[in-house]
Each structure stands twice: as C-alpha cells, then as structure tokens.
C-alpha cells in the first residue's frame, strides 16, 4: 500500500510539473505574439529559450519571490553554499530538487526490492551524496581560486606599477585569467557599474569566495583606499605570504592524506557491510533491527563510528 501511494504521488508530481511547464510556455508564446503584432518585434529571448531554460527561469523567480516575502536579509547559509559551489541555484531550489529526486529514488528502490526500508536507506545515501557533491564542488572551486591568487596578485601589482588604476586592473583580470578568478572579478565589475561602491563589491566577493587569503587582500585594498600608500608593494608582500602558506598547506595535506583516507574508510566500511548483508542475507542481520539488544548495538556502533571519525578529523585537521 505504501509503494502504491508513493508511485501515485510521484506520477501526480510529474503530471503537475508538465502542466505547469505547458502553461508557462503558452503564456510566453502569447506575450511574444502580442509584441510582434503591435511592434513587429519578436524578442530573441523568447525565440531562443528552450523549455528547460524557461522552466528553470520561472522556478528561480518563484523561489526568489518567496525568499523576499519571508523577509530574509542577505544570503542564507544554504544560498551561500550554492554560490561558493558555483551552482546557479538558490538554496531553496536545491532543497526542492533534492526532495523530488529523493522521492524518485525511494520509489525506484522500493519497487525494485519490494521493501520500503531499502528505499529509505537509498534515500539516506542519496542525500549524503548530495551533500558530499556540494562540498566537493566548494572545495574544488576554493582550491582553484587559491592557486590562481598568487598569479592574480602579481598581475595586479605589475599593472599598478605600469600606471593602471585598480578598476582597470580588475577588468584585465576578468579578461585574461581563468575561472573562477575571472568570473568573480567580472561580477565585481558588474556590481560597480550598477552603482555599488568598491568596498561593498569586494566585501561581497570575499563572502562568496570564502578564502582567508583573499580576505587579507581585500583588507589591504580597502585600507589603501582610505589612507593611501603603495598598493603594489603591499600586494607583493601579501603574495609572498600567501605563496608560503599554500606551500605549507600542500605539505601538510600530503602528510595527513593517509589519516584522512583512514577516517573515511573506517566510517564507510560498517555502513557498506550492513547494507550488503541486508541485501544478500537479510535473515542474518534482521535481528539487529527487530530485537532490543540489536537496536542497542546499532546505536552504540553508530556512536562509536561518529566519535572515531570526529577524533581522526580533529587530529588531521591542521589550521595554518
């Protein structure tokens, strides 16, 4: 009965999604026809936009409007995670997509194994994979930014010595360097061209990037804007400091790689073994879920695994 209701709910969800997309496309088409009727102009956005782009734009507008109505000021933590991961989504959009896909995963695994518990376990693994995916994108983007930071500071210092202003230097960086450095400075240039002050645009970039090294650069630039000084010399000093810190991080990362891998392996092995035994020999592992002492063992094992993982992470997490 639970599987039947889940399948029916998933079917109704996709039917409503299809009907909503059809209504949005019909409204856009009618608007384009009216504009063409009165002005003879057909908007290129309406002509070239695919149904997926129209649906994504409409959903983004809906979630953004709900966020404004809720009275949230600034970015939420989940929105900031999406920005730092380089995903063109709001936090609420990511949660909605994850919830819809989780429902689909539950239905598929529950129907395939005829057991709702398997579907629930698959949903937990899927949600964990979502979180790991976002964190990996954040780490990868931050590492790429930090690797480019020393070259960026050299370019800024040399451009300032050549007589360019700081805004002209940012424009050069947005053209010459690779993402994510170029995209972030392009966004700063766009913010300043729309009327925001340079201080606000740089603080916003610092929040989006989340790099302690770049925070030093922002602080130095803002202080120089207020009190003056030779910014090129200051940036050279910061570049030397950042280069040394990056070298130390790489060395420490190499020395602690084995400890990090051990922590992940020791955490994943009990979960993987429990899932494997549940799928291959359910009678062998079922007493852990049906008896009181079995549940006590599960809770105790989970607590010990979590404590061990936290201790290992604390040991190998060396701050610089």
Question: Which residue matches tokens 């300032």?
Answer: 160
Is residue 202 predicted with pLDDT exceeding 50? yes
Four-point Cα dihedral 258, 264, 266, 267, nearest 10 = 160
According to the model, what pLDDT value does residue 19 have?
58
According to the model, what pLDDT value does residue 225 have?
79
To the nearest whole percent, how much of the chain has pLDDT over 70? 76
What CA–CA distance (Å, rounded) separates 205 from 180? Answer: 11
Which pLDDT band holds residue 42 (cuts at 50, 70, 90)? very low
CA distances from 283 to 43, 105, 280, 286, 299 (A): 64, 25, 9, 5, 20
DSSP H helical ranges for 40-115: 44-48, 51-69, 77-85, 91-113
Mean pLDDT of the chain: 77
Is residue 47 predicted with pLDDT exceeding 80? no
Q: Before 78, cis peptide (omega within 30)?
A: no
DSSP per residue, 51-63: HHHHHHHHHHHHH
What CA–CA distance (Å, rounded) separates 60 from 92? Answer: 9
Contact 181, 87 (CB under 8 A): no
Q: What is the mean pLDDT of residues 294-308?
A: 87
The tens digit of pLDDT for each residue in 114-147 reads 778 778 888 888 888 888 888 899 989 888 888 8
More confident residue, 254 or 55: 254
According to the model, what pLDDT value does residue 282 have?
82
More confident residue, 300 or 21: 300
For 137, the 3-state DSSP assignment is helix
Q: What is the mean pLDDT of residues 23-40?
A: 54
According to the model, what pLDDT value does residue 73 have?
44
Is residue 54 predicted with pLDDT exceeding 60? no
To the nearest whole percent, how much of the chain has pLDDT over 90? 0
CA distances from 134 to 85, 125, 129, 142, 265 (A): 6, 14, 9, 12, 20
């Amino acid at each position: 009965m639970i599987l039947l209701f889940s399948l029916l709910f998933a079917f109704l969800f996709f039917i409503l999604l299809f009907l909503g997309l059809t209504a949005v496309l019909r409204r856009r088409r009618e608007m384009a026809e009216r504009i063409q009727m009165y002005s003879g102009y057909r908007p290129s956005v309406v002509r070239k936009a695919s149904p997926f782009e129209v649906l994504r734009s409409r959903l983004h507008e809906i979630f953004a409007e709900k966020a404004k109505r809720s009275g949230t000021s600034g970015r939420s933590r989940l929105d900031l995670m999406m920005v730092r991961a380089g995903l063109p989504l709001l936090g609420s959009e990511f949660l909605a997509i994850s919830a819809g896909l989780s429902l689909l995963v539950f239905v598929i695994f529950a129907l395939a194994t005829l057991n709702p518990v398997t579907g629930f376990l698959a949903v937990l693994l899927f949600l964990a994979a979502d979180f790991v995916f976002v964190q990996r994108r954040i780490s990868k983007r931050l590492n790429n930014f930090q690797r480019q930071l020393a070259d960026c500071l050299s370019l800024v210092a040399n451009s300032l010595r050549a007589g360019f202003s700081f805004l002209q230097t940012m424009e050069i960086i947005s053209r010459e360097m690779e993402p994510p450095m170029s995209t972030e400075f392009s966004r700063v240039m766009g913010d300043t061209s729309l009327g925001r002050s340079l201080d606000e645009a740089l603080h916003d970039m610092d929040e989006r990037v989340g790099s302690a090294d770049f925070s030093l650069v922002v602080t130095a630039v803002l202080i120089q804007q207020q009190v003056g000084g030779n910014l090129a010399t200051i940036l050279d000093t910061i570049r030397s400091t950042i280069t040394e810190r990056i070298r130390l991080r790489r060395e420490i990362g190499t020395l602690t790689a084995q400890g990090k891998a051990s922590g992940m392996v020791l955490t994943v092995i009990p979960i993987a073994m429990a899932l494997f035994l549940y799928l291959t020999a359910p009678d062998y592992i079922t007493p852990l879920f049906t008896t009181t002492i079995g549940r006590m063992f599960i809770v105790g094992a989970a607590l010990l695994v979590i404590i061990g993982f936290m201790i290992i992470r604390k040991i190998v997490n060396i701050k610089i």
